[in-house]
Structure 1
């Protein structure tokens, strides 16, 4: 993977700039999606409270599952955001070095994995195409 990155980053600084731009766009989209899912999570939590006050434990249990799912999605967004920050910070470093840093390898592989599972991130799809080409 290090040789491919050297080829990608070694020829021009436009590649590093494009990588930074895609990472920043993904971070911006994550901020919006985190807000949306946070609101959904808070709404589901208030629904659980209301259902428990009404004595509807079965329906409250279903809503708790929804709360857990939303919290898992928010956790995944947090990880993706951190990997995008790492990718943006190390774009120039990788361009100038012969070997890809280990933390960047983890970030790239994780973002490629996430891109296959997150259809709401066109930036991740572009990052995946960028690294798999």
Structure 2
């Protein structure tokens, strides 16, 4: 019986998936707000030296400007992650019913799998989400999304916004 369940993918636990994805959604929303607040503070820190005539390219302000851009990018990525989590929760019944990843969910699910590689230092539950979908859709599906192989489905904006993130924090 266990072998048949494994062969036909009925080992998918939608309640575990829903609970984990909802946790990711809450954390992404919280972190997005936190990063927006951080950007607002950094913007005011940047404004003072610029008003005093500091060159934005030559001085230490340049480093702060780059950090603002990086934090803004991650904030936008978290907005996407939250939206993709919402999509997964809304479509959980169709995820449970079919063995292959539904085409209309491939971008969202692949993007969450990809985000696990880049954001697990702040949202460790993304690793659990990745593992849930590895069990559901297989190692090849997860590997394609994680390594951004052609036609993997990862949203290009999510890739772009997370390209400069350091997984170590």
Out of 113, 129, 132, the residue aligned to residue 130 of structure 1 is 132
Q: State the aligned residue count.
A: 125
Aligned to 1:80: 81
Aligned to 2:51: 53
Q: In structure 2, how many angstroms separate the alpha carbons of the residues matched to 1:121 and 1:28?
A: 10
Q: Per chain length, whose mean CA-contact separation is higher, i.e. which structure has more relative contact order (CA < 8 Å, sep 6+)?
A: 1
Residue deviations 1:52-90 (CA, integer Å, cap 9, x gap): 112222233222111111111111111111111111111
Moved over 6 A (4+): none
Task: Determine helix, strand or coil for the equivalent of 1:113.
Answer: helix
The two structures have a TM-score, normalised by structure 2, of 0.66
Q: In structure 1, how many angstroms separate the alpha carbons of the residues matched to 2:84 and 2:35?
A: 19
Q: In 1, are the aligned partners of 2:84 and 2:112 still within 8 Å (CA)?
A: yes
Query: Alpha carbon RMSD of aligned pairs, Å?
Result: 2.0
Aligned to 2:94: 93
Out of 6, 29, 33, the residue aligned to residue 27 of structure 2 is 29
Aligned-pair CA distance for 1:50: 0.7
Q: In structure 1, how many angstroms separate the alpha carbons of the residues matched to 2:109 and 2:89?
A: 11
Aligned to 1:39: 37
Structure 1 gap ranges (5+):
none
The two structures have a TM-score, normalised by structure 1, of 0.83
